[in-house]
Structure 1
């Protein structure tokens, strides 16, 4: 049976939503399974959510508000911790997550309404945390750009995390916001090895192109940093210092990292990917993953889930801290100006009454 992912996709597996009343199982019926299949096209559906700002109280993240313009992500990163969320839509965290996306065409108008509420209190909004706000469909749909236009109009601070060069399209918005201290961008760089990136995150921007994006943002005076995530033991962990150094050379001023997380369905999907693309390392990788997670594949505890525990987690922390000190990279979390915020349709004088 052919287990290779369809061209341009991160996984060949399509486990059913855990919330369904039934589950499907593959069965060999004797017919050849190696016949070529047509490329899987992306399908879009409307997200009918009545709000766009999501709040959280997690001590592991430096923001309390976020916006995800899309559910699901065409980038197809096999390790993506957001994959299990597709089960809430009755869809597969596997192929459906990459090919059946939900988008919010009224996101900008909903955002205006939420920012206009008398009860709203300004704090930085993180854009594209679960799924990349600049994934390929954004080029046609433009939801992220519309959101940025509203935030710029209101002088509202925003933090953007992306692995896409498409962010360069919005420099006309980000540049003026940067001059007001309202924006910070973190470009995620997982590996500089093109062959690894092609299978690990098949539709994301190529590694060398992400470095060029860092340079483009830095040249436009937009505060930009590098996010080395996920750190995967025995697969890309040896690249930590190389990626930080290359990003610093392109103008990154801040840095962060995160250890691989394998919640729910992501664990089996990632192990299947290892068996397909790195069989010689698979057992070693998963052994180290468990050592980082107190013997488990995943540890969802606050304070532990981003960095792991134990000897290897401590070594990663030390390596990262030393590399940042040597390169002059600051912590990824930089203060943004919340005092400029003006609700939609209001001027500063109007806010006094």
Structure 2
């Protein structure tokens, strides 16, 4: 049974208190249903971030946008909005910052003296193909810069809009400079509408895998997050579907609700699944040592306890059954020149 008072098309049901604000005022009668998404152009000093987390397999990441319209209540990036003075709740989904000078900053980064190329993840925080990208095309411009400089890039998204940029992805792939990771936590469309309301449909994501694979663009799938009691019965069906569509590898994580993600998720699940909200929350706690979140490196990815172990074993079975013999290519750094002019001479 679903709560009739939920805000449709949103993950967050209200704003939550910003951890860094001494005073927070949220009108009780504010109608969030009629608040439209606003976009603010910002001009940061840098666009590439060095990833210092010990349990993440990448050296660099970049994010064309701050905030995300996709509306996933469990998104680990929500608390980053608080550093900008906003809430991790509704604000995260409806107050989007557009990094207009990102392409110029990326070129500047590539030209740094002594820079040694490593694949850059786009995006490591908020989705680079969220709906805003249709209008602003920052991601497309960044891909063009990567092509100009022959620099490897890993694209991570929940949105089939990635297919718009096949004209750039194909020449990147021909030089072994790109891979695409699609996030698919569920192939149950009713559940998808609630879990990630403004992402592409499950069928469109599977179709995107097919099209990318047909164009020889390596595809990885993140089956994430796994939420016990919601999508924890789906791993094998998801793995079969993505393997059949052409995915070459997959990864997964168990849900964790750190900091202000916790109140957003709790309000969301109580609104969307009032009949089993407490059961789901208790199952999450069983994987997180009695908590809903976990910030410990390595442990935060895998959890612990019987439920977590059952999920891990299911993925082991799926890997052997559907992905045995498949290999995911390592991107090349050999063609990077550090200058755009040399790259242009090759075409």
Is the structural similarity TM-score above 0.5? yes
Equivalent position of 1:147 in the other structure: 142
Equivalent position of 2:194 in the other structure: 199
Distance 1:38 1:289, change over 3 A: closer
- In the alignment, is the contact (CA less than 8 A) between 2:63 and 2:125 conserved in 1? yes
SS at the partner of 1:237? coil
Equivalent position of 2:61 in the other structure: 66
Equivalent position of 1:30 in the other structure: none
**Pair 1:16-2:17 in alignment:** yes
Equivalent position of 2:170 in the other structure: 175
Alignment of 1:1-353 (within 5 A): 4-24=5-25, 39-328=34-323, 334-347=329-342
Distance 1:204 1:78, change over 3 A: same
Distance 1:333 1:258, change over 3 A: farther
The Cα shift of 1:5 comes to 4.1
- In the alignment, is the contact (CA less than 8 A) between 1:225 and 1:332 conserved in 2? no
Unaligned runs of 5+ in 2: none
Query: Deviation string for 1:158-195 (max 9, x for gaps)?
Result: 11111101000111111111121111111111111111
Report the Cα distance in structure 1 between the residues aligned to 2:308 and 2:82, rounded to whole angstroms: 30
The Cα shift of 1:41 comes to 1.2
- In the alignment, is the contact (CA less than 8 A) between 2:212 and 2:219 conserved in 1? yes
Query: Deviation string for 1:72-130 (max 9, x for gaps)?
Result: 00101111110011100110100000000111111101100011010311000000121
TM-score (norm 1): 0.92
Report the Cα distance in structure 2 between the residues aligned to 1:3 and 1:87, rounded to whole angstroms: 29
Q: Which has the higher contact order (CA 8 A, sep 6+)?
A: 2
Report the Cα distance in structure 2 between the residues aligned to 1:346 and 1:16, rounded to whole angstroms: 49
SS at the partner of 1:226? strand
Report the Cα distance in structure 1 between the residues aligned to 2:22 and 2:205, rounded to whole angstroms: 42
The Cα shift of 1:263 comes to 1.0
The Cα shift of 1:55 comes to 0.6
- In the alignment, is the contact (CA less than 8 A) between 2:223 and 2:235 conserved in 1? yes
Report the Cα distance in structure 2 between the residues aligned to 1:331 and 1:45, rounded to whole angstroms: 43
The Cα shift of 1:196 comes to 1.3
Tell me the number of residue pairs that the alignment of Structure 1 and Structure 2 aligns: 341
Query: Deviation string for 1:240-289 (max 9, x for gaps)?
Result: 11011011111111111111121111111111111111122211111111
The Cα shift of 1:315 comes to 2.2
Distance 1:38 1:237, change over 3 A: closer
TM-score (norm 2): 0.93
The Cα shift of 1:17 comes to 1.7
- In the alignment, is the contact (CA less than 8 A) between 1:107 and 1:147 conserved in 2? yes
Report the Cα distance in structure 2 between the residues aligned to 1:25 and 1:38, rounded to whole angstroms: 15
Query: Deviation string for 1:317-339 (max 9, x for gaps)?
Result: 22112211111257897421111
Report the Cα distance in structure 2 between the residues aligned to 1:207 and 1:97, rounded to whole angstroms: 23
- In the alignment, is the contact (CA less than 8 A) between 1:163 and 1:188 conserved in 2? yes
